[in-house]
């Protein structure tokens, strides 16, 4: 096994670990099924990719087509709309209804199927779409970082900016740029991409936790003030 192959598998294992670990924490600690399930879906995608890469399966393998679906699922709606709605729980006190939760995952499934099945026909338009939704999501994430900075969670704010910027670079180069010296399977690109996606999932979890704790402290302080002095 070559060094880059080993690094690829390690980067993928890191992403799988981050997805399953922090996805479960989102569900267990905060009841946030939007972010929790999306993180777990990304980890499941990474698990499929790990087996595909480790076994050297051919592109005719079902694992390859499953990978395309998961990739389109998350790039189109998962780490865009679902991510934003999930974070709005701490930025705007927004808790989507169960039909909304089901609806966005259904939308992501439809988008994933369409964009993976008709990838060749969609062509450059699909790449532009992925970049466009990433830009919109990045704007929201930068506003999220500003909120963190304003509550003195500055370490989390800086990491959100770094993770978001790295994620945008990955999104912008995914379909449009080939790293010089990279092989036909884009091993170098995927090492960077998988490591970045794992870092994003970890970073957004801790940023979410910091914002939630701030909200809880603020609500507690308001309750104390509202109660007034004892008579």
Q: What is the CATH number of the domain that holds 123?
A: 1.20.1070
Determine the structural domain holding residue 184 and report its residue range.
Answer: 3-209
Residue that is written with structure tokens 């999306």 in the block: 38
The region, left, alpha or beta by phi > 0 then psi within -120 to 50, assigned to residue 177 is beta
Backbone angles phi, psi at 151, to 5 degrees: -100, 15
**Spatial distance between the Cα atoms of 21 and 39, rounded to a whole number of angstroms:** 9
- Please give the model's pTM, rounded to 2 decimal places: 0.93
* 224 belongs to a structural domain: no
87 pLDDT higher than 60: yes
**Spatial distance between the Cα atoms of 86 and 168, rounded to a whole number of angstroms:** 19
Number of domains the chain is built from: 1
pLDDT (0 to 100) of residue 85: 97
Residue that is written with structure tokens 């051919």 in the block: 58
- 52 token code pair: 């595909």
* 185 belongs to a structural domain: yes
pLDDT (0 to 100) of residue 91: 96
* 14 belongs to a structural domain: yes
**Spatial distance between the Cα atoms of 27 and 41, rounded to a whole number of angstroms:** 13
Structural contact between residues 89 and 33, judged by C-beta atoms closer than 8 angstroms: no
77 pLDDT higher than 90: yes
Tell how far CA 19 is from the center of its chain: 9
Strands (E) located in 106-173: none
**Spatial distance between the Cα atoms of 107 and 75, rounded to a whole number of angstroms:** 12
pLDDT digits (tens, 9 = 90+) for 162-204: 999 999 999 999 888 888 888 887 889 999 999 999 999 999 9
* 215 belongs to a structural domain: no
pLDDT (0 to 100) of residue 231: 43
107 pLDDT higher than 60: yes
Backbone angles phi, psi at 40, to 5 degrees: -65, -35
* 225 belongs to a structural domain: no
* 190 belongs to a structural domain: yes
* 231 belongs to a structural domain: no
Average pLDDT on 76-92 reads 97
């Amino acid at each position: 096994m070559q060094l880059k192959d080993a690094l690829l598998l390690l980067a993928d294992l890191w992403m799988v670990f981050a997805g399953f670990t922090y996805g479960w924490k989102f569900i267990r600690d905060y009841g946030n099924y939007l972010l929790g399930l999306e993180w777990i879906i990304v980890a499941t995608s990474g698990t499929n990719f790990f087996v595909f890469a480790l076994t050297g399966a051919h592109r005719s393998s079902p694992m390859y087509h499953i990978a395309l679906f998961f990739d389109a699922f998350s790039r189109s709606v998962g780490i865009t709309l679902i991510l934003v709605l999930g974070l709005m729980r701490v930025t705007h006190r927004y808790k989507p209804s169960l039909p909304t939760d089901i609806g966005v995952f259904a939308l992501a499934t439809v988008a994933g199927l369409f964009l993976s099945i008709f990838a060749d026909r969609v062509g450059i338009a699909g790449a532009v779409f992925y970049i466009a939704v990433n830009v919109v999501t990045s704007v929201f994430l930068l506003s999220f970082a500003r909120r963190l900075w304003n509550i003195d969670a500055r370490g989390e704010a800086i990491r959100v900016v770094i993770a978001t910027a790295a994620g945008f670079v990955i999104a912008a180069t995914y379909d449009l740029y080939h790293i010089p010296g990279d092989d036909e399977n884009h091993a170098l690109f995927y090492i960077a991409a998988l490591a970045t996606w794992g870092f994003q999932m970890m970073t957004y979890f801790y940023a979410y936790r910091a914002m939630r704790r701030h909200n809880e402290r603020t609500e507690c302080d308001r309750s104390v003030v509202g109660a007034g002095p004892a008579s």
